[in-house]
Amino acid sequence: MRLPMDLQNTRFLDACRRRPVDRLPVWMMRQAGRYQRSYRAVRGEVAFLELCRSPELIAKVTCAPIDEFGFDAAILFSDILVHLPAMGLQLSFEKGEKGKGDGGPKIANPVRTRADVDALRVPSPERDLPYVLDGVRAINAGLAGRVPLIGFVGGPFTVASYAVEGGSQGFTRLKTMLYADPAGAHALFEKLTQAAIVQIEAQIAAGCHAAQIFESWLGELDREDLEAFAFPYLARIAEAVRKAGVPSIFFGTGLSGHLERIAQLGYDVVSVDWRIPIDEARRRAPGVAVQGNLDSTVMLSTAEASVRKALAICKAAGPAPGYIFNLGHGIQVGTPEENVKAVVDAVHAFRWK
């Protein structure tokens, strides 16, 4: 395991490896985002892609949740599509410029034909994405060993859904490609898998201590299509992270029916959403650590309700090593900061008697 000896808090990494911890680790997806006053102040000055391409600002917004809420891990601030321009796709975020909110992505030249797939280039992170790697180094300088840093990439199907549809309009074109042109679909997933692997390897080499793979939309596929078009590529990414020596985390939504199979893909941690009880998830995936699974909508309500639901999940997860508290998806816009702090403090205070 790649573990710098100067880290002051290794609870998260220990839990990823199913090792005993003194208290439950907690971090939250989108813990750097629009619910934070500090983040909105930064976004009031720069557009979203400008932020993603500034190592100084990447470090600033990544470290802020650690300073403000005391999470047990930081996660690189970036986007799962940030590499697409290097692959030949014209990416923009047309809404939300200058602090008006982070709008959905737009791709002016989406992938629609086999020729489009063949024209895609696998990026070189050092050449094409130096700001991400410089951002990793700047984050670690800002964290000063307080907590580990999680790197991430988008999974092939989820990235393909944006690349083929031209944005976030659904999955019809991509799913049609699976059936009408399976060879073309495999060629696309192959390139996106290579792109994911080189990015995550570079992030780890730059200083990330763990890696999360976001397959947010994989629940759109049935088991046959998952086995044909998704699981083999995800297993390759997991193997690449394993060889790099850091824990790997799989994240998806709507996949409770496939949990046992996902646990066999080679990831150290499987993140589950709120659609499955956490104790059931742990029983069905005994060979991996489990991360989750508070419904982020709960935290739009009150601190009391948020803490009550969070502690019920901690209790249900059980005392066995290998549990990380998180959300079933990212923190939502409008979530009160005091609710986030209340949940973090409550999870840290939780003890098995």
Quote the distance between the C-alpha of residue 94 and its chain's center: 23
Q: Is the pLDDT of residue 102 over 90?
A: no
Q: Is the pLDDT of residue 64 over 60?
A: yes
Domain ranges of the chain: 11-349
Question: Across all residues in the chain, what is the average pLDDT?
Answer: 95
**286: amino acid identity, one letter:** P
Q: How large a percentage of the chain has pLDDT more than 90? A: 93
Q: Is the pLDDT of residue 4 over 80?
A: no
Which pairs with CB-CB distance under 8 Å and at least 24 residues apart come from 311-316?
Answer: 311/346, 311/347, 311/350, 313/278, 314/24, 314/347, 314/350, 315/350, 316/277, 316/278, 316/279
Q: Is the pLDDT of residue 65 over 50?
A: yes
Q: Give the model's confidence band at 100: pLDDT under 50 very low, under 70 low, under 90 confident, else very high.
A: very low
At 49 the pLDDT is: 95
* pLDDT 10s digits, 46-58: 999 999 999 999 9
- Say whether domain 11-349 belongs to CATH 3.40.50.300: no
Give the pLDDT mean for 135-151.
Answer: 98
Q: Is the pLDDT of residue 343 over 50?
A: yes
> Is residue 150 within 8 Å of residue 249, measured between CB atoms?
yes
CA-wise closest residue to 166 among 117, 114, 219, 104: 104
At 98 the pLDDT is: 43
Q: What Å distances lie between residue 227 and 197, 233, 285, 295, CA to CA? A: 20, 10, 18, 28
Q: Give the model's confidence band at 352: pLDDT under 50 very low, under 70 low, under 90 confident, else very high.
A: confident
As a whole number of angstroms, the distance between CA 293 and CA 274 comes to 5
Catalytic residues: 30, 34, 43, 79, 162
> Is residue 94 within 8 Å of residue 48, measured between CB atoms?
no
Q: Is the pLDDT of residue 277 over 90?
A: yes
Q: Is the pLDDT of residue 18 over 60?
A: yes
At 353 the pLDDT is: 73
